[in-house]
């Protein structure tokens, strides 16, 4: 299952942040999304995940093939680790959570209420959710936040195994994960807001400046 993006413009709060995006994410490929804070990486991922409509352009992928890993892990504090994981597994029609538990080293935490987990442990549980969705395209938004070095390695292993099985991943991150991956820098696609507003505004500014010169 291929994710093809054509001439995509994404907007946040009605203001375009990225425009003219063209790329393809093929099975077996990892694409790292780079860009400074506020450059629109999250907005792009949310658009691709189908949570918000694009301003222009098209995303050709079945939303049923995509899973989105957001900043928030979507954990319920009063449920145990196992209950949280089992819930997402049964939502996606999967009954076996053992690979996810072992993949992110959660075996010793299964009975613990997620309110008592550390930030890194919560993140590991949030990432383990990806493995119980059974979906081929992963869209991940800064997945390594609050993870220690060992857990980052666990995560990189999980991505490698996923890609080896014919999956693909688009990962917005600021660190080097040590993965065989291509990089997509969103910098060149930054939307020019002034141009979009049209010239009337800039003329008004010019008049304003002239009046006070």
Partner 1 sequence: MIALLVRDLRLAMRAGGGFGLGLAFFLIVSTLVPFGVGPEAAILSRIAPGILWVGALLACLLSLDRIFQLDFEDGSLDLLATAPIPMEGIVAVKALAHWLVTGLPLTLAAPVLGTLMNLESPGHYWIFITLLIGTPALSMIGAFGAALTVGLKRGGLLLSLLVLPLYIPTLIFGAEAATRGTADLSASTPLLMMAGITAGSIALLPFAAAAALRVNLR
Least distance CB 94 / partner 1 (angstroms): 11
Interaxial angle between packed helices 119-131 and 149-164, expressed in degrees from 0 to 180 and rounded to the nearest 10: 10
Which residue has tokens 């054509």? 6
If one asks whether residue 57 binds partner 1 (CB under 8 A), the answer comes out as: no
If one asks whether residue 58 binds partner 1 (CB under 8 A), the answer comes out as: no
Least distance CB 25 / partner 1 (angstroms): 16
If one asks whether residue 53 binds partner 1 (CB under 8 A), the answer comes out as: yes
Measured from the CB atom, the residue of 143 and 181 that comes closer to partner 1 is 143
Rounded Cα distance between 151 and 198, Å, is 48
Measured from the CB atom, the residue of 130 and 147 that comes closer to partner 1 is 130
If one asks whether residue 15 binds partner 1 (CB under 8 A), the answer comes out as: no
Rg (CA), the chain: 20
Measured from the CB atom, the residue of 6 and 83 that comes closer to partner 1 is 83
If one asks whether residue 107 binds partner 1 (CB under 8 A), the answer comes out as: no
Least distance CB 161 / partner 1 (angstroms): 22
If one asks whether residue 56 binds partner 1 (CB under 8 A), the answer comes out as: no
Rounded Cα distance between 166 and 26, Å, is 9
Measured from the CB atom, the residue of 67 and 121 that comes closer to partner 1 is 67
If one asks whether residue 73 binds partner 1 (CB under 8 A), the answer comes out as: yes
- Pick one of 27, 57, 63, 120: the residue that binds partner 1 (CB under 8 A): 63
∠ CA 123-46-104 to the nearest 5 degrees? 20
Of 77-85, 143-151, 173-181, 202-210: span binding partner 1 (CB under 8 A): 77-85
Rounded Cα distance between 164 and 180, Å, is 11
Cα atoms in the 13 Å half-sphere on the side-chain side of 135 = 26
Tokens of 101: 């538990």
Please list the residues that pair with 3 across neighbouring strands: 25
DSSP structure class, residue 52? S
Please list the residues that pair with 182 across neighbouring strands: 31
**Beta carbons of 144 and 173 less than 8 angstroms apart:** yes
- Pick one of 17, 21, 31, 66: the residue that binds partner 1 (CB under 8 A): 66
**Beta carbons of 140 and 152 less than 8 angstroms apart:** no
- Pick one of 1, 2, 34, 87: the residue that binds partner 1 (CB under 8 A): 87
Site residues (vs partner 1, CB under 8 A): 46, 49-53, 63-64, 66-68, 70-79, 83, 87-88, 90-93, 129, 133
């Amino acid at each position: 299952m291929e994710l093809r993006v054509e001439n995509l413009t994404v907007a946040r709060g009605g203001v375009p942040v990225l425009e003219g995006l063209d790329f393809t994410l093929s099975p077996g490929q990892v694409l790292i999304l780079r860009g400074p804070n506020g450059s629109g990486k999250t907005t792009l991922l949310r658009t691709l995940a189908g949570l918000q409509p694009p301003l222009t352009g098209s995303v050709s992928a079945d939303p049923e093939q995509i899973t989105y890993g957001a900043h928030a892990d979507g954990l319920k504090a009063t449920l145990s680790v196992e209950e949280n994981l089992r819930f997402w597994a049964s939502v996606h029609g999967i009954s076996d959570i053992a690979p996810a538990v072992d993949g992110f080293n959660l075996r010793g935490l299964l009975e613990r209420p997620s309110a008592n987990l550390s930030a890194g442990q919560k993140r590991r549980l949030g990432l383990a959710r990806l493995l119980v969705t059974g979906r081929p395209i992963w869209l991940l938004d800064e997945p390594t936040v609050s993870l220690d070095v060992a857990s980052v390695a666990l995560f990189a292993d999980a991505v490698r195994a996923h890609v080896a099985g014919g999956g693909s991943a688009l990962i917005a991150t600021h660190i080097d994960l040590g993965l065989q991956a291509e990089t997509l820098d969103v910098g060149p696609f930054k939307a020019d807001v002034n141009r979009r507003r049209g010239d009337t505004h800039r003329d008004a500014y010019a008049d304003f400046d002239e009046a006070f010169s």
